[in-house]
Amino acid sequence: MKIRGETQSVLITGATGSFGNAMVSSLMANKKVSKIVVFSRDELKQYEMRKRFQNNNKLRWFLGDIRDESRLARAFRSIDIVIHAAALKQVDTAEYNPIEFVKTNVYGSQNVIEAAIDCGVKKVVALSTDKASSPINLYGATKLTADKLFISAKSYSTPKGTKFSVVRYGNVGGSRGSVIPHLLDLNRRGLPLTVTDMGMTRFHIRLEQAVDLVHFALRSMSGGELFVPEIPSYRLKDLVSAINPKAKIDVVGVRPGEKIHEEMISLDEGRRTYYLNKCFAVVPENFIKPVNARKVPTGFYYTSDNNPRFLNLKELKEEVNLIEGKLYS
């Protein structure tokens, strides 16, 4: 991230997750970042993270829950940039515990907005998911609501006040709870690879690409944009072959709230979408055209099955080997 001028303080909610760890590593190397606040509710993960980063003097450790607005207000004092990664994320868990997801993903997001404005935070970038586009499950619906809260938050801030933007991306290869580590674990134990539907497609993004997208948003945002990366898709049947072409397959059927193909930009959002360098920007109505951007064609939408870029089997094997090396090294 290229931060100009004076040094900046950065706070990351949900910072003990996969993304948070990668983002902290990235920020630690930036001389313009004077302080990094790790905000999360899990003391064990914070303890493990402190050991990993050897108690670097740039880091601050703040226990708290985004459901607690007063705790956020305390944490956001003297913070310039907030990266909001805290969320409940498991699709099937959300279907059984809907109100808990609403409390964290919706009410918690509004708490982040209120605290950021009240504390004079300069920029807020919130992390979203492909499941927020045309959602069919509770998790996606809560994230779509959160997206709209952040995009509309500029209405509550002064013209020179807090800027809010959102980044939306697909499955992060190797992140906790994602499909590739799950299938790798089954394969290492010699068990059948359980898949829901062999016709499925998914977007694929590396963790470092997700971090780069947030950096891009912080550099480019005017406030109100939803940034979507241009990334490849893969077919589930190809992923299974990349892991073990001889493995026994156990097709268990589509889970509640699961899509066959994921979507990152809907047909309706396509009307308000511009293409930047390897990235799309979905903007609100009457938004000034982003600098160095071009309007996408009429009828544009972006789904994992209509994506012009698919990972081939060789590329998938490389991704799988890379993830396996990180998991079991």
Q: Which are the catalytic amino acids?
A: 131
Of 195, 124, 196, 132, the C-alpha closest to 161 is: 124
CA distance 239 to 126: 29
Angle at 282 between CA 257 and CA 100, to 5 degrees: 35
- 316 with 239: CB under 8 angstroms? yes
From residue 253, give the alpha-carbon distance in Å to each of 36, 44, 186, 257, 313: 43, 35, 17, 12, 24
| Buried b / exposed e along 87-124 (16+ C-beta atoms within 10 A) | bbbebeebbeeeeebbbbbbbbbbbbbbbbbebebbbb
- 194 with 186: CB under 8 angstroms? yes
CA distance 172 to 153: 27
From residue 167, give the alpha-carbon distance in Å to each of 132, 158, 235, 276: 11, 22, 24, 14
From residue 164, give the alpha-carbon distance in Å to each of 81, 205, 221, 262, 292: 10, 23, 8, 25, 20
At 274, list the tokens: 């511009």
Q: What is the CA radius of gyration of the chain?
A: 20
38 three-state secondary structure: strand
